[in-house]
Amino acid sequence: MEFLSEYASFLAKTLTLVVAIVVVLVAVAATRGRGRRASGQLQVQKLNDFYKDLRERLEQSVLSKEQLKATRKAEAKAAKQDKKAPPGKPRVFVLDFDGDIKASATDNLRHEVTALLSMAKAEDEVVLRLESGGGMVHSYGLASSQLVRIRDAGIPLTVCVDKVAASGGYMMACIGQKILSAPFAILGSIGVVAQLPNVHRLLKKHEIDFEVLTAGEYKRTLTVFGENTEKGREKFQEDLETTHELFKGFVARYRPQLDIDAIATGEVWLGMAAQERLLVDELKTSDQYLAERAAEAELFHLHFAQKKSLQERVGLAASMALDRFVLTWLSRLNQQRFW
């Protein structure tokens, strides 16, 4: 027992020391970063070089020395011919959008779009690899507006969906002149949902009053703590219907070939079924499409990287660790269903 007591005391002291160090580091970073504007930089990678490196590494492992020598000789001859050819090879600018409920990736997307619009021409193309299950209406409205900038500039926009583009995700996808989908990607969910708990009866049971004071008849319709009225519910539902109509009109504007009333039911479809309903134009993964384009165009991947403060890095590390823990256990629970 004495050993356990000493060991517990040692752990407590160690934990206290670690916490103290973290607090000091965060405080120092906050002091240094005070008054300093957040900044970042645009990172550009030529994907043709990436695909070439993949092929060459495979060739080195598979081909004999004689075959590899002949292949390199043929490549050198082709490269020499390309240099003699007149310039003008089309360019493809590749962007990524991995959407959360707040469409946080919009902060980077807006800078990436601004950069490519400064030099892209009508003969070029923008490819967006989009993954999002949707989220807040105003956040995805802003994200969609960034893609509208590309379309309004007269630059072809292709949207690739490998996993999911639903709700706000499809709001973004529909702006593309061409939508490509993996066969089992999830698309659709053209609808609006809002939900919130109400604990008024619990508070009333324990004789706890909660006052909601407003100026304006509909400043608050439904609340978490106050007593909700039928009139408030009707107004809330009316607002949802209005938002849904605006959502339908937005999708119909950019995808006029859709039977909007038939597909704007909040349902989702897998890629093959989505193609039948004209939600997508072609079944093809982003990998296949970009590999094909690399044979005839110059591909550039754009990513605007934000510089993160120490507090943000510490918070991000903690968040990622928690996410990994939750996902690991969810995966294990899901796998047990198929054992």
pLDDT band at 196 (very low <50, low <70, confident <90, very high): confident
The pLDDT tens digits for 237-257 are 999 999 999 999 999 999 999
Q: Give SS3 for 143.
A: helix
Catalytic residue among 139, 167, 181, 286: 167
Q: Exactly one of 65, 80, 84, 219 is catalytic; which is it? A: 219
pLDDT at 338 (0 to 100)? 40
Report pLDDT for 201.
Answer: 86
pLDDT at 135 over 70: yes
* Relative orientation angle of helices 2-33 and 310-336, to the nearest 10 degrees: 130
* Confidence check: pLDDT of 62 > 50: yes
Domains of the chain, each with CATH number or no CATH: 40-79+91-189+267-306 (3.90.226.10), 191-256 (no CATH)
Please check the confidence at residue 10 and state whether its pLDDT lies above 80: no
Block residue for tokens 């508070």: 203
What's the pLDDT at 337? 46
What pLDDT does 105 receive? 96
Q: Does position 23 have pLDDT exceeding 70, yes or no?
A: no
Q: Is the Cα dihedral 43, 55, 67, 85 positive or negative? A: negative
Is residue 83 part of the annotated active site? The answer reads no
The mean pLDDT value for 321-339 works out to 58
In sequence order, the β-bridge partners of residue 165 are 132, 187
Is 219 one of the catalytic residues? yes
Contact in structure between 150 and 309 (CB atoms under 8 Å): no
Share of the chain above pLDDT 90, in %: 54
Q: Does residue 298 register a pLDDT over 60?
A: yes
The DSSP symbol for 279 reads: S
pLDDT (tens digit per residue) in 98-131: 999 999 999 999 999 999 999 999 999 999 999 9
